[in-house]
């Protein structure tokens, strides 16, 4: 079982009040789905501070020796282990923008707090319109997370995540010689969102491939990263940051990105090879 899922299999505390954590996040990217939203546009000024990080790349860049810089693999940016609530408890808690004032009262949060703003952003993303060729669902419990994947692929499935051999402060890696493995061409990617309990934004896009990429850090630390390659980006926002960084147009070439350690990917077992 991937660590990204195992860490959340904690039971709520005794009593009727759900066990939640409202601590501040260590990183704006820890569990932040924003850059992976295909409907989102970005201003050109937003890419200035991101050009030294490997955010997006081409499918033919997955070759041995290719150097990548992954800030979300570092030790300080890999902690957001809030647990799942049971389906019964999760479904008893409002989860919509219309009910947001009541949600803040439930968690004793002020509207101007950092936690409240992160929660509001999560709900807004879960309520956004899908683009052509996309299915999307926000899972607020482990049961709903599993049910979504079973409905789409059946029972013969596996769940994957990016994992590092040991915690490290290093952000510099290279693709190892062991070889990249195609894990599937049908998938559901579930991004961990910022919320007081585990919420995953799960979506699938047509014509997408998932690769397992062996990496090695500059100090020898090994990792198995998941890379998602979108082979049809024609319906994406033309001002998406991927196009700005790579200087290409929507639909012109496959575009890939690595997944954070907290993201989950469901693929049918029968395809993996």
pLDDT digits (tens, 9 = 90+) for 209-244: 999 999 999 888 899 999 999 999 999 999 998 998
Q: If DSSP codes are grouped into helix, strand and coil, which group holds residue 34?
A: helix
177: confidence class by pLDDT, cuts 50, 70, 90: very high
Q: What is the pLDDT of residue 4?
A: 59
Q: How far is residue 201's CA from residue 255's CA, in Å, rounded to a whole number?
A: 20
Strand arrangement, sheet containing 157-160: 134-139, 200-205, 188-192, 264-268, 157-160
**Which pLDDT value is given to residue 231?**
96
pLDDT at site 17: 42
- Give pTM, 2 decimals: 0.85
Alpha helices in the chain, H assignment, sequence order = 3-6, 87-91, 100-106, 114-126, 142-153, 241-246
Whole-angstrom Cα distance, residue 224 to residue 108?
A: 39
pLDDT attached to residue 3: 62
Which of these ranges, 3-7, 118-122, 133-137, 147-151, has the smallest mean pLDDT? 3-7
CA–CA distance, 7 with 125 (Å, rounded to integer): 24
Per-residue confidence (pLDDT) for residue 79, from 0 to 100: 55
């Amino acid at each position: 079982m991937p660590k990204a899922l195992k860490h959340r299999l904690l039971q709520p505390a005794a009593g009727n009040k759900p066990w939640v954590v409202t601590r501040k996040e260590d990183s704006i990217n820890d569990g932040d789905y924003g850059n992976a939203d295909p409907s989102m546009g970005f201003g050109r000024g937003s890419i200035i501070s991101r050009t030294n990080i490997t955010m997006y790349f081409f499918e033919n860049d997955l070759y041995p020796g290719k150097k990548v810089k992954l800030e979300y693999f570092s030790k300080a940016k890999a902690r957001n282990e809030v647990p799942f609530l049971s389906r019964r408890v999760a479904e008893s808690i409002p989860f919509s923008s219309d009910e947001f004032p009541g949600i803040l009262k439930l968690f004793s949060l002020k509207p101007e707090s950092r936690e409240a703003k992160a929660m509001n952003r999560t709900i807004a993303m879960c309520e956004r319109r899908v683009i052509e060729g996309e299915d999307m669902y926000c899972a607020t419990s482990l049961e709903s997370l599993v049910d979504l994947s079973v409905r789409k692929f059946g029972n013969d499935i596996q769940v994957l995540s990016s994992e590092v051999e040991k915690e490290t402060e290093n952000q510099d890696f290279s693709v190892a010689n062991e070889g990249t493995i195609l894990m599937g061409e049908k998938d559901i990617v579930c991004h961990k969102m910022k919320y007081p309990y585990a919420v995953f934004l799960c979506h699938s896009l047509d014509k997408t491939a998932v690769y397992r990429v062996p990496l090695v850090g500059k100090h020898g630390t090994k990792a198995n990263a998941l890379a998602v390659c979108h082979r049809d980006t024609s319906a994406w926002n033309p001002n998406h940051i991927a196009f700005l960084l790579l200087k290409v147009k929507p639909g012109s070439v496959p575009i890939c990105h690595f997944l954070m350690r907290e993201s989950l990917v469901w693929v049918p077992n029968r395809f993996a090879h």
